[in-house]
Structure 1
């Protein structure tokens, strides 16, 4: 897998997207480029939900976090009617990622997922899109369509990067 330069130029990546989207190809590619992959449990710290994330962001080297407090920000309201993470905590987390030369990787899928998702996929995808638009004001966001992951570019040209309205949000498609 050839990862776009938009990903490997960062020192910190946070992989986010609706449940059911396969991350294995992306994670394998990031490992190949020297990223330490940390998969964070869905269980949040009972007093400070951002604590494990701050500890990981304090570690040296290249790190990619698979899952984070943004997952709770999206799925908390969908599953329980409220999130255990506040927007202030999420924005603080986004700024911490940006300070560590990082970006959020927003995974999208072309209308379907590889395995059944426990929550309505379309509803979760919309919630992620809204959250990423807000967080893009504090940290670079790279949107990756997983339908294209694992496939080589369709031409010999480098990956085409499309900038959205917000200069911090980048969409990568081959």
Structure 2
């Protein structure tokens, strides 16, 4: 499935991926080729209503792509603090609002060895490196659950051969679109939340 053909169906894109995943090229392409307004959600979530800043972003007119961290809170909150500041009910309500705005979640992924190399190169702690597998599994579970409420597109990074995971295309070459998997169909409703990622520590 071609990403360019897929994204034009959606007025709103909530772009997320675990630590080590590169989202900048995707967001830049959405802005340049498709006219999306790109915004980055604040990592500081209000205590009483942590999803409020995300809901406020949806009031923007026109095509909107959000470099988000709401799913990241659902995954890393339990991993690092034992709990998420965002409840599943709040996440479901937000996903419903995304769907109502003709939107979708975009789950950006990369192979675990690529994530390990990037995090190690950035000076990540041993604890951060040790939680990669649990984080990848947590994102998969979270997006599968959120797909009950809004479409989910999975975009896998493909490192350029011979140039390392973040190699730039050569002069005159267009960067290939990453493959996209669509989970736009509504899945049967699952009443229970995803398993607590803390058990993978």
Which structure 1 residue ranges, 5 or more long, are not aligned? 154-158, 170-174
User: Kindly tell me: are residues 123 and 161 of structure 1, through their superposed partners in 2, closer, same or farther at Cα, counting changes over 3 Å?
Assistant: closer
3-state SS, counterpart of residue 143 of structure 1: strand
Q: Is contact 2:153-2:180 (8 Å) kept?
A: no
Unaligned runs of 5+ in 2: 161-168, 170-174, 188-201
| CA distance in 2 between partners of 1:68 and 1:81 (Å) | 17
Larger Rg: 1 or 2? 2
Distance 2:83 2:89 in 1: 15
Query: Pairwise CA RMSD of aligned residues?
Result: 2.4
Contact between 1:15 and 1:106, CA under 8 Å: does it hold in 2?
A: yes
Secondary structure of residue in 1 paired with 2:118:
coil
* TM-score, normalization by structure 1: 0.83
- Per residue, is there more strand in 1 or in 2? 1
Count of residues in Structure 1 that have an aligned counterpart in Structure 2: 162
Match of 1:125 in 2: 136
Contact 1:13 1:104 in 2 (8 A): yes
2:39 paired residue number:
38
Match of 1:152 among 176, 180, 193: 176
Cα distance, 1:143 vs structure 2: 0.3
SS of residue paired to 1:4? helix
- Relative to total residues, which structure has the larger helix share, 1 or 2? 2
Give me the whole-angstrom Cα distance separating, in 2, the residues matched to 1:81 and 1:73.
Answer: 11
Distance across 1 between alignment mates of 2:36 and 2:182? 25
In structure 1, what is the equivalent of residue 55 of structure 2? 54
* 1:160 CA drift (Å): 7.2
Q: How much has 1:161 moved relative to structure 2?
A: 6.1
By how many angstroms is 1:162 displaced?
5.3
Please give the alpha-carbon distance, in whole angstroms, between the structure 2 residues aligned to 1:133 and 1:105: 12
Alpha-carbon distance in 2 for matches of 1:70, 1:162:
18
Aligned counterpart, 2:198? none
> Which residue among 185, 189, 193 is the counterpart of 1:167?
185
